C-alpha cells in the first residue's frame, strides 16, 4: 500500500533589492519496515514559493526511485491559483497531463473553482465541474455545476447553504485587551484545498478538530498565511488566532 505524506510548506518573505537565504523542504522519504517506501520532492521559484511536488515510489527490483505523479502550482498577478496534476508515462518517458483545477477570487473574497480533465483525443483541457462560493459573516452559499459537452454550457447540479449561528459567552480569569489589533479574517469557507488567514504578523494560529485535538499550529510570519487543508478529513474545524490579548475564534467547514 502506498502511503502519502502531507506537509505544510512555509516560506519566508524576500525583501526587494536584497538577498536572503531561507531554508526550504527539499524532499521527504518514508520508510516501511525499514525499507524505502515513498519519496516526495519539492521545487520552488526564485521567491522560495513551492511550485511543484513530485511523488515517487521505490522499486525494490531495480533499487531505484520510480516517478509516479506530479502536481504543479501556478499563480497569476491577482494571486489566483491553478494546479495541474500529471502522471508519468513509462512508454514515452514523459509527464502526461491528467487533471487541472483553476481557482478564481473577486474583490469580495468570493471564490469559484473549475476542474478540467485532459482529453488525449483532442489534446486539450475539457471542462468537468465548477463550484461557486458566496460568503458573508453568517452564511456561505455553494453552487455546483457540471459541464454539458452537447450544449457547451454549465448545468447546475446542486446548491448548498451553510448558516452560522453565534452566541455570547462570558470568559473569566482573562484580562481585557489592552491593544487595538484587528480581528483575524479566514477564507474561503467552506474550504477544499487551502484557507487563508489574514491577521497581524506574529499572531499564533491554532486549529483543532471537533474533538479538541490540535492538528495545526503556526506563528504567522506576515499578515497573510495560507494553510494547506487538502489532507484534512471533511468536517468542522475550529481556528483560533491569538494576537497579544486578542483572540479570534472561527469555525470552518472542510468540504
DSSP letters spanning 62-80: TTEEEEEEEEEEEE-TT--
Q: What is the mean pLDDT of the chain?
A: 80
Place of cell 480569569: 173
Residues 47 and 83 in one domain: no
**Domains: count for the chain:** 3
Q: Which residue from 57, 45, 96, 53 is spatially nearest to 71, judged by alpha carbons?
A: 53
**Residues above pLDDT 70, as percent of the chain:** 83
Question: What mean pLDDT is predicted for residues 25-38?
Answer: 85
| Range scoring the smallest mean pLDDT among 94-108, 152-166, 176-190, 201-215 | 176-190
Residues 145 and 179 in one domain: no
Identify the band that residue 8 occupies on the pLDDT scale cut at 50, 70 and 90.
very low
Identify the band that residue 255 occupies on the pLDDT scale cut at 50, 70 and 90.
confident
Residues 105 and 125 in one domain: yes
Residue-wise pLDDT for 58-100, tens only, equals 999 999 999 999 999 888 877 677 889 999 998 999 999 999 9
* Domain final position from 166, 191, 225: 166
Question: Has residue 199 got a pLDDT over 80?
Answer: yes
Residue-wise pLDDT for 106-161, tens only, equals 666 677 889 999 999 999 999 999 998 887 767 888 899 999 988 989 999 999 99
* Domain final position from 127, 146, 166: 166
Identify the band that residue 171 occupies on the pLDDT scale cut at 50, 70 and 90.
low
Q: How many other CB atoms sit within 10 Å of the CB of residue 113? A: 21
CATH number at residue 5: 2.40.128.720
**Residues above pLDDT 90, as percent of the chain:** 25
Residues 34 and 110 in one domain: no
Q: Which residue from 239, 238, 247, 237 is spatially nearest to 200, judged by alpha carbons?
A: 247
Question: Has residue 245 got a pLDDT over 90?
Answer: no
Identify the band that residue 35 occupies on the pLDDT scale cut at 50, 70 and 90.
confident
CATH number at residue 198: 2.60.40.3080
- Using DSSP, state whether 1 is helix, strand or coil: coil
* Domain final position from 166, 200, 219: 166
Question: Has residue 44 got a pLDDT over 70?
Answer: yes
- Name the DSSP letter for residue 51: E
Residue-wise pLDDT for 220-243, tens only, equals 888 888 888 887 877 788 898 888
**What stretches of 106-243 show up as alpha helix (H) in DSSP?**
none
Domain span including residue 207:
175-255
238, 208 in Cβ contact below 8 A? yes
Q: Which residue from 247, 200, 194, 192 is spatially nearest to 220, judged by alpha carbons?
A: 200
Amino acid at each position: 500500500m502506498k502511503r502519502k505524506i502531507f506537509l505544510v510548506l512555509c516560506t519566508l518573505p524576500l525583501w526587494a533589492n536584497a538577498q536572503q537565504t531561507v531554508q526550504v523542504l527539499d524532499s521527504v522519504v518514508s520508510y516501511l519496515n525499514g525499507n524505502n517506501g515513498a519519496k516526495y520532492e519539492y521545487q520552488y521559484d526564485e521567491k522560495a514559493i513551492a511550485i511543484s511536488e513530485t511523488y515517487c515510489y521505490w522499486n525494490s527490483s531495480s533499487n531505484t526511485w520510480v516517478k509516479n505523479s506530479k502536481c504543479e502550482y501556478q499563480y497569476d498577478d491577482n494571486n489566483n491559483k491553478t494546479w495541474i496534476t500529471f502522471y508519468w508515462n513509462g512508454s514515452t518517458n514523459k509527464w502526461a497531463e491528467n487533471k487541472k483545477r483553476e481557482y478564481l477570487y473577486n474583490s469580495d473574497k468570493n471564490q469559484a473553482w473549475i476542474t478540467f480533465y485532459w482529453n488525449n483525443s483532442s489534446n486539450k483541457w475539457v471542462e468537468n465541474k465548477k463550484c461557486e462560493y458566496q460568503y458573508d459573516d453568517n452564511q456561505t452559499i455553494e453552487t455546483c455545476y457540471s459541464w454539458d459537452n452537447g450544449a457547451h454550457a454549465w448545468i447546475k447540479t446542486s446548491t448548498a447553504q451553510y448558516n452560522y449561528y453565534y452566541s455570547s459567552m462570558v470568559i473569566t480569569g482573562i484580562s481585557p485587551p489592552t491593544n487595538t489589533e484587528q480581528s483575524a479574517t479566514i477564507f474561503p469557507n467552506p474550504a477544499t484545498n487551502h484557507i487563508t488567514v489574514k491577521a497581524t504578523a506574529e499572531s499564533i494560529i491554532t486549529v483543532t478538530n471537533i474533538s479538541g485535538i490540535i492538528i495545526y499550529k503556526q506563528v504567522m510570519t506576515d499578515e497573510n498565511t495560507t494553510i494547506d487543508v487538502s489532507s484534512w478529513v471533511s468536517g468542522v474545524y475550529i481556528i483560533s488566532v491569538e494576537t497579544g490579548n486578542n483572540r479570534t475564534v472561527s469555525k470552518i467547514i472542510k468540504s
